[in-house]
Amino acid sequence: MPRIAPVHWKVLECVFLADGFRFDRQTGSHRVYEKAGVLRLVIIPVHGVVDTLIIKSNMRTAGMSRERYFQLLRECTRRG
C-alpha cells in the first residue's frame, strides 16, 4: 500500500465529499464537513497542500480506512 502523501485541499475535499460528507460551514481558512453517523466534524484547512498528519487525523475522525482513502483518492484524481 502506498504512503499517504500531502495533497491539495481541493483533492482532500473531494475525497471526503465522495465518502458522504457534506460541507457545513467555513470559519476563516478552515472548512467544516459533517456526516450522519460520525460524531465529530472533519476540518480541512484551505491553504494549499494539506499535511499528512491532518489527513490521517481526519481519516481517524471519519472512521475511514487507508484502502477507502486510496480508492476515493484515485476517483478524485481521475475526475481532474
Per-residue pLDDT of 21-42, as tens digits, reads: 999 999 999 999 999 999 999 9
Whole-number average pLDDT of the chain: 95
In a domain, 67, yes or no: yes
In a domain, 29, yes or no: yes
Within a 13 Å sphere around the CA of 58, how many CA atoms are in the beta-carbon half? 28
- Which pTM was predicted? 0.94
In a domain, 1, yes or no: no
Total domains in the chain come to: 1
In a domain, 40, yes or no: yes
Query: Where do the DSSP E strands lie in the chain?
Result: 7-8, 22-27, 30-34, 42-45, 49-50
Residue 2 phi/psi, 5° resolution? -70, 165
In a domain, 55, yes or no: yes
Residue 17 lies in domain = 7-79
In a domain, 2, yes or no: no
In a domain, 42, yes or no: yes
- CATH number for the domain including 18? 3.30.920.30
Tell me the CA distances in angstroms from 31 to 20, 26, 63, 67, 78, one per residue in order. 15, 4, 19, 24, 23
